[in-house]
Structure 1
Amino acid sequence: MGVKLEYLNVNKKPLKGRDFLTLADYTQEEIYYLLYLADDLKRKKQNGYVYEPLKGKTLGMIFEKSSTRTRISFEAGIYQLGGTGLFLNANDLQLGRGEEVSDTAKILSGYLDGVMIRTYSQEMVTELAENATIPVINGLTDLYHPCQVLADLQTIKEVKGSLENIKMAYIGDGNNMVHSLMFAAAIMGMEFTAATPPEYEPDAAVTEKAEKLAEVNNGKIQVVHDPADAVHEADVVYTDVWASMGQEAEQAKREQDFAGFQVDGKLLELAKPDVTFMHCLPAHRGEEVTADVIDGKHSVVFQQAENRLHAQKALMVALMR
C-alpha cells in the first residue's frame, strides 16, 4: 500500500494543527503522507531548490536533554523552510523554576507557531500539548522517540524500495526506541521482533497496544530473549546503546546483563544476505555493536541520521503550514 503523490498538493493540509506525540496517534495513510512529503523535501534540497513554506513562522525548541541530531536537524530544518528556530534550554525557562506546564503552554502559544520538546517525561509532553493551541512535537522522551522512527521508516523505504513484507529485528534494551519502532511496524504492517534480556523487556502496556495495532494492519509484534531468534531471516537489524541518557550509573551492570546481545558479524549472518543495519546513534563501538558492522557494507546509519532532517521538515510543513 502507498499514498499517491497528489497527496503532496499544497492545498491539502490533512495534518495542519495536529500534535506529534507518538506514532500511535497516526494512521498508516497519514504516515505515508509524511514519508512522501519527506522524500519530496529531500529531493528539493538535493536539487538546490529553495522552498520556504514556513516563512515568518517560529518554532520553539525546548531541551531538558542535550542533543546533537535533534537540535541541529530541527534548527537547520526550520531555517531551510524559511522560518526561525529558538533554542530554549529548560533551565532558562520558568519551567525550570516550577512554573506550571499548562501556563507555559498557553504563554508559548501566544508567541510561537509550533513547539518541539525533548525531555524525560511523556506526561509533560502530553500536558504541554493539551494546553497549547499550536502543534507540539515530541523530540524524545523516556517513553517514545517518534521523530527518529519516522526518519527510520523513510530510510527503510529508500533502501528496500517499500515497507511491505519487511521483517525487522531489534537487539538490546526495551527502551523508547523499541516502543516507537513497535508502533511504526504495527501501523505499517511490518513484522517486528525485539530481543532483550528478560529484565529489560519493553513496557508491557506499550507492547499490548502495539499488538492490537498490528492485528488491524496485518503486522506482527514479538518480544523474545534470544537475539538469534529475532535476527533469523530479518531484512533490517536495529540496535541502540545499552545505557541511555540518565542511566550512566547503570553502565557496568548493563554491560554484564547484555552479554550476548552485541550485534556482530556472526549474528548478522543469520539475517538475509541483503540485510540492512540501523542504529539511531550515538553508538558505542565494541559494546552494542562491533565496528565492522556499523562501519560495514550493510550499515545505513549516516543515511538514517541525515533523514532526521528531511522527516522533521515534513512534520513541520504538515503541522505548521
Structure 2
Amino acid sequence: MSNFLTISDYEPDEIQNILDLSSELQTAAEPVLAGKNIAFVFEKPSLRTKVGTEAAINHLGGNVIHIDADILLSSGKAIPFTSRESLKDAMKNVSLWCDAVFARVYSHQTLKNMAGYSSIPIINALCDKHHPMQALADLHTLQQQFGKDKKLTLAFVGDANNVAFSLTELLLKFGHTVNFSGPEQYSWTDDKLSYFALLAVQYGGEFNTVTEPSKAVENSDAIYTDTFISMGEEHLYEEKIKHFEPYQVNEELFSKAGEHTGFMHCLPAHRGVEVTDAVIDHPNSWVYKQAENRMIVSKGVFATLLDGEGKATKKPSVPHLDKESVNGT
C-alpha cells in the first residue's frame, strides 16, 4: 500500500510509469479496478477533479462512494463540547469498506492525518500546499506536444501557489527549465527556493525567478498561469489584484513568446483577470487538453495504487532537504 500525496514522494521513472500506463488505459480501458470502491471526500468545490476522476474510475470498472466532508472530517458539532467523531475512528471505518480515499481538502495536514490512521491509499485531490494530480496532467500534456525526450522551458506567470509548486517540482525532476514571474509579495519563500535549487542540481533542470513577465516568457515552450485568487482567498481580492494586474497573460505578453508556444491553465479561469479571451481561446491554448488529461492520468494513478501492477514505491527525492518545511507538513 502506498499514498499519492506529493510529487516529492516519487522518482521520475515512477512518474513516467504512471503516465505510460495512463496512455495505455486511455486506448484500451481494462477493468483493473473491478470490485474496488474509492471514497471521495471533498471539502472544496470541484469540476475537473471530481467528474474527471470519477469518469476514469468508472471506465476502469471501479465504484465511487461520496462521503460528506463534514461527516468524515468532524467539522460539524453533534453536541457543544465535542465533534461528531474522531478522524481516527472515521478512517479506521472507511478503511474497512473502501480500497482508497480521494480527498480534496483545505489543509495538507488533514491528508497526513488521514494517511496516518488509514490502511488504504490516500490520494491528494488538492490541498493548500500541493496539487500533484494536476501536475501529472500538465506533464502528460507537454509530453503529448513535444515528446518525452525534449528538454522544455515553461514560464509560470502569476501566484506562487499549490499548482505552481507541484508543477515546478515535477518539471525540475524531469530536467526541464521553469522561469517564474510574479509579484515579490506573493513569491516563493526561501525554503522553497532552496528546494527548487536542489532539485535542479540533482536532476539537471533549471529554476529562475524573473522580475519582468515579458522576459520570463521569451524562448518558452509553454506559458502557464492560474487564478490569482485561490479558493478561500476571496476576501483578499482587492489587496492581491493590485499586485497581480501586470502579470495578466494577454495578447501582448503572449506575443513575446514563439509561434510554437502553448498556453496552459489548470482551470477554472477568470477570463479578463489572469488571462484574456484571446489567449485562452488561441489555437495554441492547451487548457482543454489539460482538462481531458486530468481524467487520463487518474487512470494511471489508481491502477498503479490498486491493481498491484507496477506499483510505485515512495523514495526521498532530496535526502538533505527538510521536506517537512517545504511540504507544509
Q: So what's the TM-score if we normalise by structure 2?
A: 0.88
Are 2:56 and 1:70 aligned?
A: no
Aligned pairs for 1:197-208 within 5 A: 197-208=183-194
Q: Deviations over 1:157-200 (max 9, x none)?
A: 00112353100010001110111011111111110111110000
Aligned pairs for 1:64-213 within 5 A: 64-93=43-72, 95-97=74-76, 98=83, 99-162=85-148, 164-213=150-199
Query: What does residue 295 of structure 1 align with?
Result: 281
Q: 3-state SS of the aligned residue for 1:20?
A: coil
The CA deviation at 1:91 is 1.8
Indicate which of 243, 257, 261 corresponds to 2:243. 257
Letter matched to residue 52 of structure 1? P
The CA deviation at 1:297 is 1.1
User: Which one has more relative contact order, counting CA pairs under 8 Å at least 6 apart?
Assistant: 2
1:300 & 1:31 partners in 2: Cα distance?
A: 21
Q: Deviations over 1:201-231 (max 9, x none)?
A: 1343333223212211101112233212211
The CA deviation at 1:313 is 1.1
1:141 & 1:298 partners in 2: Cα distance?
A: 29
Indicate which of 10, 24, 27 corresponds to 1:43. 27
Displacement over 6 Å in runs of 4+: none
Query: What does residue 265 of structure 2 align with?
Result: 279
Q: 3-state SS of the aligned residue for 2:268?
A: coil
1:209 & 1:110 partners in 2: Cα distance?
A: 38
Query: What does residue 224 of structure 2 align with?
Result: 238
Query: What does residue 256 of structure 2 align with?
Result: 270
**Cα RMSD, aligned residues only:** 1.4
Question: Are the structure 2 counterparts of residues 142 and 273 from structure 1 closer, same or farther at C-alpha, using a change threshold of 3 Å?
Answer: same
Are 2:11 and 1:19 aligned?
A: no
The CA deviation at 1:94 is 5.6
Aligned length: 300
Q: 3-state SS of the aligned residue for 1:54?
A: coil
Q: Deviations over 1:111-161 (max 9, x none)?
A: 110011000101111121122111110000011100011011111100112
1:25 & 1:194 partners in 2: Cα distance?
A: 23
Letter matched to residue 192 of structure 1? V
Letter matched to residue 39 of structure 1? S
Structure 2 segments unaligned to the other structure (5+ residues) = 77-82, 308-329
Q: 3-state SS of the aligned residue for 1:255?
A: helix
1:134 & 1:23 partners in 2: Cα distance?
A: 19
Q: So what's the TM-score if we normalise by structure 1?
A: 0.90
2:263 & 2:104 partners in 1: Cα distance?
A: 26
**Is the CA contact (8 Å cut-off) linking 2:36 and 2:98 kept in structure 1?**
yes
Letter matched to residue 175 of structure 1? N
**Is the CA contact (8 Å cut-off) linking 1:277 and 1:301 kept in structure 2?**
yes
Q: 3-state SS of the aligned residue for 1:134?
A: coil
1:260 & 1:126 partners in 2: Cα distance?
A: 37
